[in-house]
Amino acid sequence: MIHHPQIVSPVLGIVTLRRPAIVIGSIRESAALAPSVEELKAFHAADGSKLLLVTIESTSPTDPQQALEVVKSEGIEHLDIVIANAGGSPLPTTPLDRVTAQEMTTTYQVNAIGPLMLFQACLPLLQKASRPKWVSISTGGGSITLMGKIRSWDGTSYAAAKASLNWLTRAIHFTNEWLVAVALNPGLVQTEPGNWIAREWGLEKATYTIEESVEGMMKIIDRATRDEVSGEFFNLKSDKLPW
């Protein structure tokens, strides 16, 4: 029997496929042939693991529910872990005095409303798991307290949307006493957007490789319990971050 069905992104999927698990990767239709998706499909998975790809466009209010119908049609009756990793920021980032209503709306759809719709769709299958976990992939810029230190107003729409995601994650924790819900800051990661931001900050490249970031987050997810981790915001070093 395959244990631990979990919904993840292609980036996280490669790490989780090393474990005996059903990995459900969500992709956009437009990204179906992207190198990261092809790499995920070609990855030599651990014995007993299985990959299922579903389509979720984060601006769509109906894609998450349609994806869950596909999941259920595959005989999957519960979800142990759901990682809401999809996100996006306009590049270059737009500061507070120039950000448009359209940019704010679109960025909120992707980074806050999309994860909420995913949670609502996944809720019935999370309820059927013995130790379910919900994970929101946030950012340091989503911390209102740290704003003065990291100048997150330079990327207004993205940081504000992630602050909203943090609020939603904490609300999920308080309204579902049977569920572990945690927000994670993956760090500045060596993806294309991460390296672009690093260069804007005068760095050669982002701080963490994708694998370092994912492995650090998985360590927190693995040990997460309702009493110790749920309802909080952590970085890769397991430091609790302020809201």
**Which active-site residues does the annotation give?**
158, 162
135, two tokens: 């994970």
Query: What's the rounded Cα separation, in Å, for the pair 88 and 100?
Result: 16
242, two tokens: 């302020």
C-alpha to C-alpha distances, 171 to 91, 96, 147, nearest whole angstrom = 30, 27, 22
Crossing angle of helices 114-127 and 63-73, in 10° steps, is 30
174, two tokens: 């308080």
| H or E stretch at 134 | strand 133-137
